[in-house]
Chains A and B, each alone.
Chain A
Amino acid sequence: EAGVAQSPRYKIIEKRQSVAFWCNPISGHATLYWYQQILGQGPKLLIQFQNNGVVDDSQLPKDRFSAERLKGVDSTLKIQPAKLEDSAVYLCASSLPRGWVGQPQHFGDGTRLSIL
């Protein structure tokens, strides 16, 4: 099966500019996650979708970050305006519905964002 696809792989922008990341999950995976991973740290969940509905966005800085998952498949994550502290790798992951038994997450290779 094809894995989680993300683009672009790298992005360099200046602070206060805007940027968008795209994710295409594994076919049939209803659950989609966006994570932020700062160098040397573990991934931090930003937002979780179930189909096209938001399940958890409690850690998403909503004044500058937004995400959508139209039609319950592809998803985009946007930052506007970017700050220096947003420099990180943005990872997308997908899984079958989480349920109570738990499901493994499948990750893309991420977008490495550098803010100048």
Chain B
Amino acid sequence: SQQGEEDPQALSIQEGENATMNCSYKTSINNLQWYRQNSGRGLVHLILIRSNEREKHSGRLRVTLDTSKKSSSLLITASRAADTASYFCATDAYGQNFVFGPGTRLSVLP
């Protein structure tokens, strides 16, 4: 069954605005990871947040994790045209394989 589900499926914003994407999952996890994929390329790892962590930052990225709600969010601040890509969350649970969600397609308009 699908573990991670991103929301929204697509998001279009202006350069300089913030972009927020959400991920919901169904079962307990060890950690949750966010990846970016540019068109025609492989996935690039952005942030890993462990189940005992609530928030992590990396540059313009901020990830939160709420294990009670089984949800995570990825915030990109001051977006740039180069942030245009698909963003995926992936859940990592002990004894289970990695499960990626269907992704959020972000378009940042100049």
Residues of A in contact with B (beta carbons under 8 Å apart): 4, 33, 35, 40-45, 48, 56, 58-59, 91, 93, 98, 100-110
Contacts and interface: CB of A to CB of B under 8 A. Distances in A.
Contacts of A45: 97-99
Nearest to B31: A102
- Which 3 A-B residue pairings sit nearest by Cβ, starting from the closest? A107-B42, A42-B100, A102-B31
Interface string B79-110: 00000000010101010011111110000000
Contacts, number: 60
Given A101-B50, A102-B50, A108 B97 contact: no
Contact of B102 (A41, A101, A102, A107): A41
Interface in B32-53: 33, 35, 40-45, 48, 50
* Most chain B CB within a 10 A radius of its CB, from A44, A103, A104, A110: A104
Given A33-B98, A42-B102, A58-B97, A105 B31 contact: no
Given A98-B92, A104-B33, 5 more contacts: A42-B100, A56-B97, A102-B33, A103-B48, A110-B42
